[in-house]
Structure 1
Amino acid sequence: MNSLSRRGFLVGLACATALAATGCGLSGGDPGAAGGPVTGEVKGSITFQTWALKPKYTDYLNGLVTRFQQAHPGTTVNWVDQPADGYLKKVTADAAAGALPDVVNMPPDLSYPLAKQKLLVDIGSAMPDAAKDYLDNAWSAYALPGQSGSYGFPWYLNTGPVFYNKALFTQAGLDAEHPPTTYAELESAALAMAQHSDRKIAMLGLTPVIADFALYGVNVMDPGGTRFTFNEDKGVRFVELYKKLYDAGALIPEALTANYTGAGTKFMNQQIAWAPGSAYDLSNFKTNAPSLYPNVGITKPITNTGHATMFVQGLSVPESSKNKPTALAFARFVTNAENQLAFAKLVNIFPSTKGTMDDPYFSKSDGTDEAKVRVAAAKQLGTAVNYTPVQWSDQMLTVLQQQLAEAMLGKKSAKQALDEVVAQCDKLLAG
């Protein structure tokens, strides 16, 4: 249901933040051995890699680098930015070659395989005092199941409301001022819209991703994170719900195509009526879909757990770095409270540092739609969960999409499809 949960969030935005560094407890001594505190003087050269931030955020990041270098005379930060296309493959290849930059922007699911191979610094061990600065749910997003530690500094967060098309709701005889708040209500509204429009307007534009199963209340993995369990009865019912909607024309046929990315465009073209998203999307609608914008309604995500989805981006330091003291100091500098707040006011993202969302920017609305979304999302993030397991990979996503398509088309039962997904994903997990 949520296009953003296909891969972290805001892929075209992978960004950074800034604050006056305090030395980060790294003065004196020599770099510690792997698995222990890292000490040493903050000096020398490092390379900092981001994900698709040029040219929009060039001034911000150049300023960030300059302030760090001024705070630490004798340091040089070389900022490189990689394009969105192929970024994840490049990071994986560089890791295998031992050629990762000193500080790398990566989401939790990319950090997991690298940390599992002991290619990333355990921040919890290297900087034992760092965890206290970050929201617990953000810090834990970079934890490695089955062992202690955390392998990334949370950089920024997002979550989102659900956007819906009031005009399409009204045309279908639905109450545009009272959108669905439960899955049962969403099902009823989706069926009514498909029937009223003679299947020309669908409510939904995507089959569910793994985070959607978790939102529905499905146990995605066993407590130890050793095997997948979303083929349980509740998971089967969830897929059967989508099958019912697909058969009625309430889920677009294109959604069955692997890695389909057109749902957002269909919402902007007013061809589907329901689009979970993020605070970033509202300004995008205003700019790129002016005819849609007056019809956009905003509501809370539907969840059976009481907790919304949280998307996380962060900064990791490879074990291969030759200058860990400076790399860790810079990563913490980028992600400290002052710099996260500054960046969040520049872009529609949210800070991962404790107390930062108490700022009036996140806690008080000026009555505009943008402010309403921002305040609601900030409040939501306090208890939000990163529902996508760090073990979840693109290969697993492809398997899920393929098997859901089989179920939607009636080639397999929901149970058969999920059993096959779980079997294949467990095999990938073991490998």
Structure 2
Amino acid sequence: MRTTRRVFLIGLAAATLAGCGLSGTNEQGGAVAGEVKGEITFQTWALKPKYTQYVEGVIASFQQEHPGTTVKWIDQPADGYLTKVLADASAGSLPDVINVPPDLSFPLAKAGQLVNLDEAAADAKKDYLDNAWAAYAIPGKAGTYGFPWYLNTGPVFYNKALFQQAGLNPDSPPTTFAELETAALTMAQKTDRKVAMLGQTPAIADFGLYGVEMMNADGTKFTFNSAKGVELVEMYKRMYDAGGLVAEALTQNYTGSGAKFMAQQTALTPGSAYDLGKFKTDAPSLYANIGITKPITNTGKANMFVHGVSVPTSSKNKPTALAFGRFVTNAANQLAFSKVATIFPSSRDGMKDPYFTTEDGSDEARVRVAAAKQLGDSVNYTPVQFSQQMQDSLRQNLADAMLGKKSAKQALDDAVAECDRLLG
């Protein structure tokens, strides 16, 4: 089930500098001093109306703690959010605090549009998980450009009944890519290709999970066309040819992998804690046979999704903006948010709460505790430079490889060439 922002708030939506006119720089270095007072504007991404009460409560608490401050909250819809942020940046009219994923922070920070928190709030780093703080580092540029806000990762869900029907052990699902291929080929053969193991081609994060190095050391060139990357694509090609990967997955704008799994036409899918509740209400016959296991990885480290808040250099009230950014993302507020949304804190203290460390016997708690545990050393495998245009190119080239129009090596060489072109 491909992770999307609309599904559970986390989605590494992509942005590109092309045509956005982010040519100038407003960058200012050093610590930010000044009194926390006055008005700021805080912009979020599709949190209304579901989380209105929570956000308004955080704002009220901040204003009470800092008399003389006013926080004006604006919430933008999901559709067109990235385009709007980049347009506002080009016009020099960004809000004082903005909700951005790392890949949107990349073009803004590269253009000098975001405050470097390593300098402006040097004591903040210790409050957050190291891997979450590192998600807002920009390759080739010193500093960190966002307070991590909320995280997500997820287990792998599989259909125990379909495993059993194919003669696979329902209590021993695959945990490595080699095991995944073996199980997928068996599933396709035993069901006469009526049930596929997988509903989607690999995304860029899957290359990271496989152990592929995505970029060179200074982040200026993509390298996922290595021998190891080719190995992954060739493995997917074998699964596709055998019927272990649904044909619809090759469609450029395909988003139906979750629906395939819920319809019990595929046997395994990556997901999140959010999905378990959806299965329970929308697919009870599937829910009765749900198996839950750890992510499939050759690295031993799961994939992490992260969202955060950044302070633009154009803010006229940086002291208050920085104070509010830290307040929104402090341990107490993150923990409270995690209990009303299916997300996880990026704060060290928030992740120590019993809510994330103790099971109560329910499947929901089992998923939550397991996911929280794996977040400790999880990795944001998607490079901050990787835009939606790059993802589209990768998907098209992977489809060509699956269909035999290109070799795996040629498909990845072409994808890397296009990604490097877009990066340049």
The normalised TM-score by structure 1 is 0.92
8 Å CA contact 2:27–2:112 kept in 1: the answer is no
For each residue in 1:339-359, what CA deviation from the matched residue of structure 2 results, as whole angstroms up to 9, or x when unmatched? 111111222211111132221
For each residue in 1:276-296, what CA deviation from the matched residue of structure 2 results, as whole angstroms up to 9, or x when unmatched? 011221112212222211111
Match of 2:359 among 352, 365, 385: 365
One-letter amino acid of the counterpart of residue 13, structure 1: L
Deviation at 1:167, TM superposition (A): 1.2
Q: In structure 2, do the counterparts of structure 1 residues 159 and 14 end up closer, same or farther at CA, with 3 Å as the change threshold? A: closer
1:3-14, aligned counterparts within 5 Å? 3-4=2-3, 9=5, 13=9
**Counterpart Cα distance in 1 of 2:140 and 2:27:** 22
8 Å CA contact 1:285–1:293 kept in 2: the answer is yes
One-letter amino acid of the counterpart of residue 294, structure 1: A
Match of 2:266 among 268, 272, 292: 272
8 Å CA contact 1:52–1:81 kept in 2: the answer is yes
Match of 1:41 among 35, 40, 45: 35
The normalised TM-score by structure 2 is 0.94
Gaps of 5+ in 2: 12-25
Match of 2:371 in 1: 377
Match of 2:22 in 1: none
Percent identity between the two aligned chains: 70
Match of 1:343 in 2: 337
Is 1:356 the equivalent of 2:350? Answer: yes
One-letter amino acid of the counterpart of residue 3, structure 1: R
Match of 1:211 among 195, 202, 205: 205
SS in 1 for 2:35: coil
Deviation at 1:385, TM superposition (A): 0.6
SS in 2 for 1:149: strand
Q: In structure 2, do the counterparts of structure 1 residues 12 and 215 end up closer, same or farther at CA, with 3 Å as the change threshold? A: closer
Is 1:137 the equivalent of 2:166? Answer: no
**Counterpart Cα distance in 2 of 1:268 and 1:239:** 26
**Counterpart Cα distance in 1 of 2:67 and 2:349:** 30
**Counterpart Cα distance in 2 of 1:33 and 1:395:** 27
SS in 2 for 1:291: helix
Match of 2:417 in 1: 423
Match of 2:253 in 1: 259
Deviation at 1:33, TM superposition (A): 8.0
**Counterpart Cα distance in 1 of 2:350 and 2:57:** 21
SS in 1 for 2:252: coil
1:145-160, aligned counterparts within 5 Å? 145-160=139-154
Deviation at 1:147, TM superposition (A): 2.2
Is 1:109 the equivalent of 2:108? Answer: no
For each residue in 1:272-327, what CA deviation from the matched residue of structure 2 results, as whole angstroms up to 9, or x when unmatched? 11110112211122122222111110001111111111110000111111111111
**Counterpart Cα distance in 2 of 1:246 and 1:269:** 20
Match of 1:19 in 2: none
**Counterpart Cα distance in 2 of 1:285 and 1:50:** 28
Is 1:313 the equivalent of 2:312? Answer: no
**Counterpart Cα distance in 2 of 1:14 and 1:201:** 29
Match of 2:405 in 1: 411
Q: CA RMSD in A?
A: 1.5
Deviation at 1:178, TM superposition (A): 1.0
Gaps of 5+ in 1: 16-31
For each residue in 1:137-182, what CA deviation from the matched residue of structure 2 results, as whole angstroms up to 9, or x when unmatched? 0000000112221000000111110001111111111111111122
Deviation at 1:80, TM superposition (A): 1.1
**Counterpart Cα distance in 2 of 1:13 and 1:243:** 32
Q: In structure 2, do the counterparts of structure 1 residues 33 and 83 end up closer, same or farther at CA, with 3 Å as the change threshold? A: closer
Deviation at 1:12, TM superposition (A): 5.4
One-letter amino acid of the counterpart of residue 107, structure 2: P
